[in-house]
Chains A and B, each alone.
Chain A
Amino acid sequence: MSLLEIKKLHAAVNGKEILHGINLEVNEGEIHAIMGPNGSGKSTLAGVLAGRDIYSVTEGQVLYRGKDLLQMSPEERAREGLFLAFQYPLEIPGVNNSYFLKSALNAVRKHNGLDELDAMDFLHLLKQKTKIIGMDESFLNRPVNEGFSGGEKKRNEIFHMAVLEPKLSVLDETDSGLDIDALKSVSEGVNRLRSKENSTIVVTHYQRLLNYIVPDFVHVLVDGVIVKSGNKDLALKLEELGYDWVRENVQQTV
């Protein structure tokens, strides 16, 4: 079943159009990779999906679980199971990670007609998830991302994902800033959270991550347009030939 359908999406920031007609369909259980050079619009696409209001959609449509995603507030999207792992996770001084997640999870549960978790059950859940992600429990009581290293922030994003159990996760450059061991363990966490119902969009500009999180589809985004789609071999080819190869290819076909 189709979970996400992006149709002819155009989006602008500060009056400048960045996305020039994106089409993408993601079905339940699939992993899609979106690759592209710096500045091609990957984070813009992720931000539009999550509902960041600095981006304005000028044309097109996005259906999420059959509903008009663009009409929903960011919190509604999250409560409906959409998750964005930020390329640059924010630091929230004064708000500890577990309090933050408790507010988030209970808001999501309430929306979905579930009871709020009490303190004991919640703590139990958190501890269980830290194990899946391979995160030290001491991070629970620290202010969200404050003083975390780049890699710790990325791991914390995946931890949030593990706790919130989204249907569709968009991971924006989760690999950047991770050393190889961290990359492996974070990928392992993502893989453990996979299921037949859940889908993931992995945004990256290196092929490396895709050795660990193996995509069903790879799309190449250049200058706000998906210029090429294929299977995981496309990523390998890109790695070998570089983005210029796609650019030239596109120009030839035009």
Chain B
Amino acid sequence: MFNKQYKNMQSADKNIQWYKSRFEAFEQGLNGEKSKPVHALRRNAFRIFSENGFPTTRQEEWRFTNISPITKIEFQPVLNFEANGISKADIKEYTVAGAARAVFINGMFSKELSDTGMLPDNVIIGNIANVLEEDTGTVQPYIDRMASAPENAFTALNTAFLRDGVFMLVPKNTIIERPVQLIFLASDSKYAYAAQPRNIITVESDSRCKIIETYIGLAGNTYLTNTVTEILLHENSHLEHNKLQVESLNAFHIGTARIIMHARSNYTSNVFSLGGSLVRNNIDVVMDAESSECTLNGLTLGTGTQVIDNHTAVDHAKPNCSSRELYKSILGSESRGVFNGKIIVRKNAQKTDAQQANRTLLLSDNAVMNTKPQLEIFADDVKCTHGAAIGQLDDEQIFYLRSRGIGLDAARDILTLAFAGDVINKITIEPLRFQVEKIVFNSLDNSKARQKRKTVSV
């Protein structure tokens, strides 16, 4: 036992040595940028990362999710753009009709595949690599603010190798009708790489927009996506933030979103996790002013031996805010789901109204769900409810469908999709909703083929 632990520690240590060598190589290639303020942030983040190392299951935040497989692989951080032979045809299935589009290949911006021309002229949208190069000074404050708290090892690692991603600023009084889709493609590759995009999205007061983050693995290879999206919502701004994740089933995906909300702002997050062998989503919302509303929805589909972990945290820092949370998981085969929903209500955050629900559908006897609400309430005049339920498909419902001529597998699929339906229906972008519905439905079929479940025979 001791030996094994020691060995693992050694491998994690070795892995940090690996990133150290990569960081040095990165710095050597930087030339002039080394003296820019952003590089001080990188250095600081790398120092924190190398001091703390990767988290282990002994840390409360990572209790159910052992990330040691990630520490056993030497992922090569992607620092330069390569097209990798990817063309528009490769993304066709995932593009959302009518949306403006920024496309990234292995974390680096692809000008050729992107099209943001149809957005209103006053909207600033660009890629970070380019923005840093131009160094106009407008973006620096945003970068400073976002990168200042790399307490999480993966966020620190992302900051250390900060290179590219989306920078978007929606100015005051602007309503963007078209959704903005950010597509992150992972290409096939002979070596394992780390794609680490960093996205910074700011919506100024009285403005509204809808964004979609789409993560796609184009092949079945092993790589790491370690992505961080930082969002700042000013007074009375609205953002619908959708995320569809269909990475390679051999890939790792760590996705962090940090959202700061100002007064009367409104944030909705819809997260669909389908791909990846090991997935961790962190969503941290800070409701930093009065009368804001946030809604967090999630749907997880686990097959094979996938591990999909959703950690959400809503910090009710000020009074009169409401939060609504609905996370659902559908777990087949030997997949495992984790949900940890933290709700903090600060001492002065009176009249907080927080609701949280976590529901899981287990499609196999070997699938496992770990769910944990974590309420930390310091105010007294609040309304907080939470509930967790884990169940299976209902035999009587299955029989009802079969009694009408619907086959067993189709009956299971229909009921499973119905379970997922209320989360899918939260998407207000119609073409995206259809797309997600189709992808979810198709993966149900796939999961069935892969999954050796005992069929009910009559």
Question: A-side interface residues toward B, CB under 8 Å?
Answer: 50-53, 73-75, 77-79, 83-84, 86, 89-90, 92-95, 100-101, 103-105, 107-108, 111, 143, 160, 164
Residue among B396, B405, B415, B419 making CB contact with A75, cutoff 8 Å: B405
Size of interface on B: residues with Cβ below 8 Å to A: 24
Question: B-side interface residues toward A, CB under 8 Å?
Answer: 395-397, 399-408, 410-411, 414-415, 417-419, 421-422, 456, 458
CA distance A74 to B397 in the complex (A): 13
Known: A53-B458, A94-B418. A104 touches B400 (CB 8 A): no
Contact of A50 with B403 in the complex, beta carbons under 8 Å: yes
- Which A residues are CB-close (under 8 A) to B422? 94
Residue among B399, B411, B419 making CB contact with A52, cutoff 8 Å: B399
CB distance from A73 to the nearest CB of B (A): 5
CB distance from B447 to the nearest CB of A (A): 19
- Which B residues are CB-close (under 8 A) to A164? 404-405
Interface centre among A74, A86, A160 (most CB of B within 10 A): A74
Contact of A74 with B414 in the complex, beta carbons under 8 Å: no
Determine the residue in chain A with the shortest Cβ distance to B405: A78
Contact of B410 with A74 in the complex, beta carbons under 8 Å: no
- Which A residues are CB-close (under 8 A) to B421? 94
CA distance A213 to B422 in the complex (A): 41
CA distance A104 to B411 in the complex (A): 10
- Which A residues are CB-close (under 8 A) to B418? 92-95, 143
Contact of B406 with A92 in the complex, beta carbons under 8 Å: no
Determine the residue in chain A with the shortest Cβ distance to B424: A94
A-B contact pairs, 22 of them (CB 8 A): A50-B399, A50-B403, A51-B402, A51-B403, A53-B395, A53-B456, A53-B458, A73-B458, A77-B403, A78-B402, A78-B403, A79-B405, A83-B403, A84-B403, A92-B397, A92-B401, A94-B418, A95-B415, A103-B414, A104-B401, A104-B405, A108-B405
- Which B residues are CB-close (under 8 A) to A100? 401, 404, 414
Contact of A51 with B458 in the complex, beta carbons under 8 Å: yes
Determine the residue in chain B with the shortest Cβ distance to A47: B399
Contact of B402 with A75 in the complex, beta carbons under 8 Å: yes
- Which A residues are CB-close (under 8 A) to B404? 78, 100-101, 104, 160, 164
CB distance from B289 to the nearest CB of A (A): 36
Determine the residue in chain B with the shortest Cβ distance to A144: B400
CA distance A86 to B395 in the complex (A): 15
Residue among A50, A53, A75, A143 making CB contact with B406, cutoff 8 Å: A75
Top 9 closest A-B pairs, CB basis? Answer: A94-B418, A78-B405, A104-B404, A74-B402, A94-B421, A90-B400, A108-B405, A107-B405, A75-B402
- Which B residues are CB-close (under 8 A) to A74? 399, 402-403, 458
CB distance from A218 to the nearest CB of B (A): 25
Contact of A107 with B400 in the complex, beta carbons under 8 Å: no
CA distance A160 to B403 in the complex (A): 11
